């Protein structure tokens, strides 16, 4: 789980980019990268409402 932080795109996006940079997702399709990056951006934009 990646929790929203104070730095925009500093959590999930950074984590996903680190995985890309380390070739963790080597061989995945562009659709995979687009989908997961969309999820990461949404996660970083989330805020707690409770």
The model's pLDDT over 26-45, given as tens digits with 9 standing for 90+, comes to 999 999 999 999 999 998 88
Domains of the chain, residue spans: 1-50
Give the per-residue pLDDT at 1.
52
Distance CA 16, CA 37 (A): 7
**pLDDT tens string 14-23:** 999 999 999 9
Which residue is it, tokens 């659709």? 31
pTM given for the model: 0.72
Give the per-residue pLDDT at 2.
53
- Higher per-residue confidence, 44 vs 9: 44
Distance CA 1, CA 5 (A): 12
């Amino acid at each position: 789980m990646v929790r929203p932080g104070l730095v925009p795109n500093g959590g999930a996006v950074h984590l996903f980019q680190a995985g890309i940079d380390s070739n963790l997702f080597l061989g995945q399709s562009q659709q995979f990268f687009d989908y997961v990056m969309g999820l990461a951006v949404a996660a970083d934009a989330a805020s707690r409402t409770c």
